[in-house]
Structure 1
Amino acid sequence: MEIEQIEILEFLKRHSPFQELPEQELLEIALSIDIAYFQAGSEILTFNQPLSALHLIRSGVVETFRRNGDLYNRLTEGGLFGEQGLLRGNKARFPATAVEDSLIYLIPDQVFQKIFDSNDFFADYIEVGDTERQKSAKTIKKAETDLLSAQVKTLIRREPVSIVDSASVWQAAQLMTEQGVSCLLILYDDKQPERAGTLAGIMTDRDIRSRLVAPGQKSEIPVSDIMSTELVTIEHQQYIFEAMMLMLRYNIHHLPILNKHKPVGIVALSDIIRYESQNSLFVVSSIFRQQSVAELSTLVPDVEACFVRMANEDANSQMIGSAMAAIGRSFKQRLIELAEQELGPPPIPYCFLALGSMARDEQLIVTDQDNALILDNSFDPKLHDDYFLKLANIVCDGLALCGYTYCTGGIMATNKQWRQPLKVWQHYFTDWINTPTAERLLHSSIFFDLDPVAGQTRWADQLNQLILKQAKNNQHFLACMTRNALQRTPPLGFFQDFVMENDGRQNNSLNIKRRGTAPMVDLIRVHALAIGSDATNSFERLNDIIAANILPKGRGEDLRDAYEVIAMARIKQQALAMQTGETVDNNIMPEHLSEFERKHLKAAFSVLSNAQKFLKYHFRA
C-alpha cells in the first residue's frame, strides 16, 4: 500500500461505522477512495445531482440542507453525507456546502453498495444513523445554547486513553492505533508515588511526526521525550463554553478534563465545533485564514453577528466578554503574523500586550484598542526601534480597520513610551506603586490589567507577579487607586432617580460604561490588588475577594449580581442598536427600558454606590 492509503486506512479505523468493519473490508475501502478538495463557501452537492460516491469528511466543516434551504445537518471530521442519495436512485437528496476548506474522501458507489449489502452493522448505521448525524437544525440550535450552561463533563464519551511517561513512543503509538485515538494522555508512573496517576503531559499525532519522525529519533525513546508538558486543562465541573474559550485562547485542539487532578476525559475541538454555527469559533478560524488586512476587515459583520447571537441567546456577560476578547486577541495575533511576514523576523524577542477590557476578557462590540510592547533588554533604539515601530503601526492600523478604534489617550504600541524593554516596564510599575499620585495613576491604571498576546509571554507573567508583590498592603498606593475609582459615580439622584447625561449628542441618556461598568471595574481592581489576587477578569477577582472575606457579609455576591445587571444592560442596548441600524454606543435611554429593567438597574447602581462608600472608608481615601 502507498503511504497515503495507509493514512486513509488509519483514519477509517478511528471513525464509525468503519472502525467496526473487518480488516479486509476496510482495506478494500481504503484502496478505492478518491480525494476531493472544496474551498470554503463552495457547493459540494446540488439537489438531484447525479451521485456516484459516499462522501466522508477528512477535514473541514460541511453543512447539508433540505430542498427548501433549511439547514439539515452540520458535519465535521468523520461525518458522512450523500448516503440517502445512493440508496434512492443515485441522486443527491440534500445539497451540501463547504463551510470551511474541506478535504473529502469519496467512496465509490459500487464499494459502498457491496459493504451495505454484506454488513448488517454498516447497513443499520447508514439507514438509521446515529443521533449526532440526525440532528435537525432546531436541535443544533438548542445544543448551541446548551454550550452556555452545560458542564464540560457532559462531553466525555469514553475513558481517557493513557500511558505512563516511562513507556516508549512505539508502545504509545501502538496503543493509539488500537484505540483509534489521535492523542494520548501521559501519566506519571509509580516511581514518584505522590504523583502517580496524575497528568504529566499529552502526546498527539503531530508530536510523533514533528518530534520523532522528522528529527530521525528512534521509537524506543520514552514518551516523556516528545510529549507536550505545557498543559492547558479544565476541571470537569466547568462549562463547555469555558473549554471553548481555552481552546481559542491557546490555539489547542485537545483539552484534558480533570477531576481532583486526575484525568477523566478529553474534549476535542471537533466535539464543540460540530454544534456551533455563526459563533466565535468560526470567526476565529476565519481570522487565521485571511491573508491581508483588507481580508481581515471583511470579517467585521461576522464579529457583529456573533455578538448579537450571543446577546439574544441569553449568554451572560462573562461569556460574551470572553468570546469578544478571544476574537480581538485573534485579530491581533494574525496582524502580528502578517507584520512579521512583511518585515521579516524580529531583530530581538518581544511580547505584545493587550490591556484593559481585552486583558480582562470583558471586551464588547464598542471598544478601542489598548496595547503595548515589551522588548528584550538588549533593545537598542538605533538598531531595533524602526522595526518595532513599523510592526506596531501595521497592527494598530489593522485593528482600526477591523473595528477597534485608536485609543484617544495614545495607549498603543505606536507610542514610544509604551514600546520599551522589560527593565523599563519593571521600573514603570515599581515607580507607579511605590511613589504614586492619583493623577499619575489615573493615566496608568489600565496597565494593571495586562495580558500577553504574542511573543515572550513569560515577561507579562513577570510584570503581573511584580504588581502582586508590591501592590498588596501598600496603603498609599491603594488609597490613590481608590481616589481614582471614586471619580466616576453611578447615575442616581437623591431620591434614587436616574441622573441623565447632558453632553449634547446623547442628551437625557445614561452612559452605562462611564457611570456603570467602568467604576465597577475600578472598584473591584482595588480590592483585588489589596488581597494579592492574580486574577484579571472582574468576576474571577470578585470570587477571590469574596473568599478573602474583606467585605461585609453578602456584599461580594451583591456586587457580582449588580455588575452582571449593568453589563447585560449595556450588551442588550448595543445588540439592539446593531439590529435596528442605530448608532452603537454605551448610552441607554431609560424610557426604552421596561419597568422591570429600570427597577433592577437602579438596584444595581445602588449596590455600586454603597460599595464605593465602603471602598472610600476602607482605604481612607
Structure 2
Amino acid sequence: MNSIAEHIADFLKKYPPFDNLTFQELSEIATSIRVINLEKHKVLFQINDVLHDSFYVVASGVINLSVIADAEETLLNKCYEGDIFGLRPFFAKNNYMMTAKAREESIIYAIPIAVFRPFVANNSEVLDFLLHSFATNTSNPSDKENLRGKLISDNVYFSNQQSEMQYFQSLTYNIAPITATASSIVQEAAQLMTNSLSTSVLVCENNLPIGIVTNTDMCSKIATGRFPITTTLDKIMSSPVVTVIENVSLAEAQLLMLKYNVTHLCVTQDGTDKSAVKGVISEHDLIVAQASNPGVLIKEIKRSQTPKDLKGIRERLTELIQKSISKNIPLSHVNNLASEINLAIIKRSVELSILDLGSPPARYAWLSIGSQGRKEQLLTTDQDSMLIFEDVTAEKYRDVKDYFLKLGKRTTAILEKVGYGYCTYGHMASNMLWCKSLTDWTNQYNSWMNTPGENSNQLSSIFFDFEIVIGENKIEEVIENVVFNNIKNNTLLFDFLGNEALRKNSPLTFFKKFNVEEKGPNKDKFDIKTRALMPLIDGARLFSLSYNLRGVNNTYLRFKQLAITDPRNSEIYLNCAKAFLTLSKFRTMEGLKNDNSGQYINMQELSKANKEILKNALAPMDELEDLIKNKFQLTQFS
C-alpha cells in the first residue's frame, strides 16, 4: 500500500463515521481517493450542477456551503477539517442544491461513492451516521457539544428552517401495482409490465409480498440469456421484498433504498411483509416528489412568464400545505414555507409588471402588509400591499406617481388571476392612497400615530405589520424608523391600540358556549378570525411595539420574543403563542376543506374532542386581556 493512501487512512480514522471502520477497510477505500487542491474562492460544485460520483471530506482549509435565495447568496454552513459534505449523490438523482466554494486555500479528499457504498451497507454505525445526519440535517448526531466531524446534508432548499421539510414530505406512488404468483411465467410478466408502463411486478402469495421482479432483473437475468424467457418468476425474483408503511416520507424512502441498495419499495398496510400490499414506490417516484419540494417551486416561480404559470404553482402550494398538516408538521414550519412561496409569487408578479411597463423611474419598495406581512398567510386570502417611491422633484412627481400606480394596478390584477382576491377595503398598491412618495408616507404615519382614532380604525393596526417584497430595503428601514420614533412616550396611541385589541367580542359566552354568528350566511358558525385570532394578533403587536421589538412581525414569534423580553409574564405569552398555532391550524383545516379562507368554523362538524381543544386554546385570551388592562391606561377610547 502506498504511503499517500496510508496517510489518508490515518487522517480519516480520526473522524466519524470513518472511525467505525477498520484500518484495513480504510486503507482499501483510501487507495481510490482523489486529492483535490482548491484555491481560495474556487468552486467545487454549484447549484444545478450534475452530481459527482464522489462525496468529499475536508483535509485542510475551509469550505463554504451556500444557497442562492431571492438573488442573494445565503451561507448555510462552513466545513472544517474532518467534515463531510457533498453527500447528495448518495441520496438523490437530481442535481446539486447548493454551492461548495473554498473560503481559503483547501485540500479536499474525494471519496468515490461506488467504492464506499459496500462499507455503508455492511456497517450499521456508518449507515446510521449518514442516515441520521441526512435526515435531521444536523451536525454529527452523536455529539451534542457540536464537536468537529459534522455531516452536512445537501438537501437544503432556500433556508435552514425548511430543510427538514424533505423529511416529512409525503410521496405519491403506484397504488395499483402489478402482482403475479411465484409460478407465473417471465414472458407474461414482461408483457404486463410493458402494457402498463411499469418498472416492476410484485410476486405475492395470498396478497402478501414474497418477492419482486424489476426492469433490472429482466435486463440482467433474462436479456443476458442466464434464464430462458419461459422460466418462472420465483427463479429471478429478489426476495425478501423491502417493505414500508403507507405514509412513508420522501427522505425515509430514499434512505431505505440506499440502505438495501434497491430501486423499489413495497408499501404494505403495517409496513411488514406479513400484511396486505398497498402499492409500490419506485426511484422515479422519489425524483417526481423532489420536484414538488419548496426549493423547486421557488425556482419555477422565478422562471414563470404568465399569471397562469403562477396560479399552477399556488395550487401546488395548497397541496403541500395540506400534506404537511396531515403529517403533523409543526405549523410554524408550514407557515415559513408558505410565506416564502407566497412572497416569491408576489415578487414575480411585480417583476412581470415591470417587464411590461419598462423599468421604474425611481427607487421604490413594494411592501406586503397584514397577514402576508406577518408571514401568516397559509390560505389564499385577499391581497394587502403598499407602494413607496423615493422623493423626486416637483416637476417629475406626477409622471413618477403615474408609473407606480400603473405598476400597482397591473400587479394586483396579476395576483387576482393567480387567486389572491382584491382587498375589500382597498388596501392595495393600486389605490392612490396606498401608493405614495416616502415623504407622503412619513407624514401619513406621523398623522396616524399622533392623532389616532381620527382616521379609520382599519388603518392603524394593519400598517404596522409589513414586509418588503421587492425594492430598496433602505426605504422599508425609513418607515420602520418613523414607526419606532413615534412610539416613544405616545400614551395616546397605546390607549387607542389597547382598546382596539379589546374591542373584539369575547369568543365564549358567559356560560362558556361558543359565541356564534346570529344571522347572515354564516349563521351558527364561529368566526375564528375575528373572535379568536385577531385579539391574539393585536395583543402581540401591541406589546411588541411597547417593548420596541423590531423586525419581528409574526404573531407566534412575537409572543416567543415577548416571553424573553418580559420574563415575569412569560407563561402568559408562551400560552398565547401555543394557542395561536392551535387556532391557526383549525382555521387552515376549515379553509382547506371548504376551499376558502377558513374564517367561519362549522361547529356542527367538529368532534367533541376538537371542541374541547378549541375551547382550551381560547383560555389564554383572558390572561392577555388582563395584561393589556394592567399595562396600558385605557381611558380616552374606551
Give the alignment's TM-score, normalised by structure 1: 0.59
Indicate if the aligned counterparts of 1:469 and 1:532 stay in contact, CA closer than 8 A: no
The answer as to 2:380 corresponding to 1:366 is: yes
AA in 1 matched with 2:433: Q
Q: State the partner residue of 2:345.
A: 331
Q: State the partner residue of 2:440.
A: 424
Indicate if the aligned counterparts of 2:383 and 2:420 stay in contact, CA closer than 8 A: yes
How far residue 449 of structure 1 moved from its aligned partner, in angstroms, is 0.5
Note closer, same or farther for the CA distance 1:510–1:23 as it changes in structure 2 (3 Å cut): closer
Note closer, same or farther for the CA distance 1:18–1:425 as it changes in structure 2 (3 Å cut): farther
Gaps of 5+ in 2: 1-27, 38-47, 56-66, 68-85, 98-109, 168-286
- SS in structure 2 opposite 1:377? coil
Q: State the partner residue of 2:115.
A: 124
AA in 1 matched with 2:348: R
Whole-angstrom CA distance in 2 between matches of 1:98 and 1:243: 14
Structure label with greater radius of gyration: 2
Whole-angstrom CA distance in 2 between matches of 1:448 and 1:129: 54
Q: Which one of the candidate residues 518, 537, 543 is aligned to 2:554?
A: 537
Q: State the partner residue of 2:576.
A: 559
How far residue 302 of structure 1 moved from its aligned partner, in angstroms, is 0.5
AA in 1 matched with 2:312: T
Q: State the partner residue of 1:296.
A: 310
Q: State the partner residue of 1:407.
A: 423
Note closer, same or farther for the CA distance 1:99–1:492 as it changes in structure 2 (3 Å cut): farther
Whole-angstrom CA distance in 2 between matches of 1:155 and 1:503: 59
Note closer, same or farther for the CA distance 1:443–1:553 as it changes in structure 2 (3 Å cut): closer
Q: Deviations over 1:479-501 (max 9, x none)?
A: 11122222213420111111211
Whole-angstrom CA distance in 2 between matches of 1:308 and 1:100: 27
Q: State the partner residue of 1:394.
A: 410
Q: State the partner residue of 1:457.
A: 473
- SS in structure 1 opposite 2:463? helix
Whole-angstrom CA distance in 2 between matches of 1:25 and 1:431: 63
Q: Deviations over 1:292-316 (max 9, x none)?
A: 2222122232011111022112123
Indicate if the aligned counterparts of 1:490 and 1:609 stay in contact, CA closer than 8 A: no
AA in 2 matched with 1:571: T
How far residue 472 of structure 1 moved from its aligned partner, in angstroms, is 3.9
Q: State the partner residue of 1:482.
A: 498
Q: Which one of the candidate residues 593, 599, 609 is aligned to 1:586?
A: 599
Whole-angstrom CA distance in 2 between matches of 1:456 and 1:243: 33
Indicate if the aligned counterparts of 1:472 and 1:531 stay in contact, CA closer than 8 A: no
How far residue 127 of structure 1 moved from its aligned partner, in angstroms, is 5.5
Indicate if the aligned counterparts of 2:29 and 2:116 stay in contact, CA closer than 8 A: no
Q: Which one of the candidate residues 353, 377, 390 is aligned to 2:391?
A: 377
Whole-angstrom CA distance in 2 between matches of 1:618 and 1:490: 20
The answer as to 2:278 corresponding to 1:287 is: no
The answer as to 2:610 corresponding to 1:597 is: yes
AA in 2 matched with 1:616: K
How far residue 555 of structure 1 moved from its aligned partner, in angstroms, is 1.7
How far residue 564 of structure 1 moved from its aligned partner, in angstroms, is 2.1
Q: Deviations over 1:178-235 (max 9, x none)?
A: xxxx9xxxxxxxxxxxxxxxxxxxxxxxxxxxxxxxxxxxxxxxxxxxxxxxxx998x
- SS in structure 2 opposite 1:298? helix
Note closer, same or farther for the CA distance 1:333–1:601 as it changes in structure 2 (3 Å cut): same
How far residue 424 of structure 1 moved from its aligned partner, in angstroms, is 1.3
Whole-angstrom CA distance in 2 between matches of 1:604 and 1:433: 32
Q: State the partner residue of 1:616.
A: 629
Note closer, same or farther for the CA distance 1:98–1:285 as it changes in structure 2 (3 Å cut): same
Q: Deviations over 1:452-479 (max 9, x none)?
A: 1111112112211221232143111011
Q: Deviations over 1:543-568 (max 9, x none)?
A: 33223328646222222222222112
Whole-angstrom CA distance in 2 between matches of 1:603 and 1:307: 25
- SS in structure 2 opposite 1:363? coil
AA in 2 matched with 1:484: E
Indicate if the aligned counterparts of 1:438 and 1:480 stay in contact, CA closer than 8 A: no
Indicate if the aligned counterparts of 2:54 and 2:111 stay in contact, CA closer than 8 A: no
How far residue 593 of structure 1 moved from its aligned partner, in angstroms, is 2.3
Equivalent residue runs for 1:200-349 within 5 Å = 240=163, 278-349=292-363
Q: What is the CA RMSD across the aligned residues, in angstroms?
A: 4.9
Note closer, same or farther for the CA distance 1:367–1:153 as it changes in structure 2 (3 Å cut): farther
Whole-angstrom CA distance in 2 between matches of 1:393 and 1:513: 28
Whole-angstrom CA distance in 2 between matches of 1:493 and 1:607: 15
Identity %: 22
Note closer, same or farther for the CA distance 1:588–1:77 as it changes in structure 2 (3 Å cut): same
How far residue 126 of structure 1 moved from its aligned partner, in angstroms, is 5.7
How far residue 390 of structure 1 moved from its aligned partner, in angstroms, is 2.1
Whole-angstrom CA distance in 2 between matches of 1:518 and 1:568: 14
AA in 2 matched with 1:462: V
Note closer, same or farther for the CA distance 1:274–1:143 as it changes in structure 2 (3 Å cut): farther
Note closer, same or farther for the CA distance 1:554–1:125 as it changes in structure 2 (3 Å cut): closer
Q: Which one of the candidate residues 350, 353, 358 is aligned to 2:367?
A: 353
Q: Deviations over 1:499-529 (max 9, x none)?
A: 2113432221112112111121011111111
Gaps of 5+ in 1: 1-16, 27-36, 40-53, 61-75, 82-95, 102-118, 162-181, 183-231, 245-272
- SS in structure 2 opposite 1:79? helix
How far residue 405 of structure 1 moved from its aligned partner, in angstroms, is 0.9
Indicate if the aligned counterparts of 2:366 and 2:387 stay in contact, CA closer than 8 A: yes
The answer as to 2:486 corresponding to 1:495 is: no
Whole-angstrom CA distance in 1 between matches of 2:166 and 2:452: 39
Indicate if the aligned counterparts of 1:151 and 1:240 stay in contact, CA closer than 8 A: no
AA in 2 matched with 1:337: E
Whole-angstrom CA distance in 2 between matches of 1:98 and 1:121: 18
Whole-angstrom CA distance in 2 between matches of 1:440 and 1:421: 21
AA in 1 matched with 2:608: E
Equivalent residue runs for 1:194-205 within 5 Å = none
Indicate if the aligned counterparts of 1:38 and 1:98 stay in contact, CA closer than 8 A: no
Which region of structure 1 is more displaced relative to structure 2, 549-558 or 519-528?
549-558
Note closer, same or farther for the CA distance 1:494–1:383 as it changes in structure 2 (3 Å cut): same
Indicate if the aligned counterparts of 2:367 and 2:386 stay in contact, CA closer than 8 A: yes
Whole-angstrom CA distance in 1 between matches of 2:468 and 2:481: 14
Whole-angstrom CA distance in 2 between matches of 1:308 and 1:560: 22
AA in 1 matched with 2:115: D
Note closer, same or farther for the CA distance 1:97–1:233 as it changes in structure 2 (3 Å cut): closer
Q: Deviations over 1:229-272 (max 9, x none)?
A: xxx998xxx8856999xxxxxxxxxxxxxxxxxxxxxxxxxxxx
The answer as to 2:622 corresponding to 1:606 is: no
Whole-angstrom CA distance in 2 between matches of 1:516 and 1:575: 19
Q: Which one of the candidate residues 573, 584, 589 is aligned to 1:572?
A: 589
How far residue 322 of structure 1 moved from its aligned partner, in angstroms, is 2.0
AA in 2 matched with 1:371: S
Whole-angstrom CA distance in 1 between matches of 2:364 and 2:111: 60
Note closer, same or farther for the CA distance 1:143–1:415 as it changes in structure 2 (3 Å cut): farther
Whole-angstrom CA distance in 2 between matches of 1:240 and 1:550: 31
The answer as to 2:535 corresponding to 1:519 is: yes
Indicate if the aligned counterparts of 1:442 and 1:484 stay in contact, CA closer than 8 A: no
Note closer, same or farther for the CA distance 1:400–1:20 as it changes in structure 2 (3 Å cut): farther
Q: State the partner residue of 1:33.
A: none
Whole-angstrom CA distance in 2 between matches of 1:345 and 1:286: 23
AA in 1 matched with 2:576: L
Indicate if the aligned counterparts of 2:53 and 2:112 stay in contact, CA closer than 8 A: no
Q: Would you say how many aligned residue pairs link Structure 1 and Structure 2?
A: 431
Q: Deviations over 1:131-160 (max 9, x none)?
A: 9xxxx9xx99x999x76xx76786999969
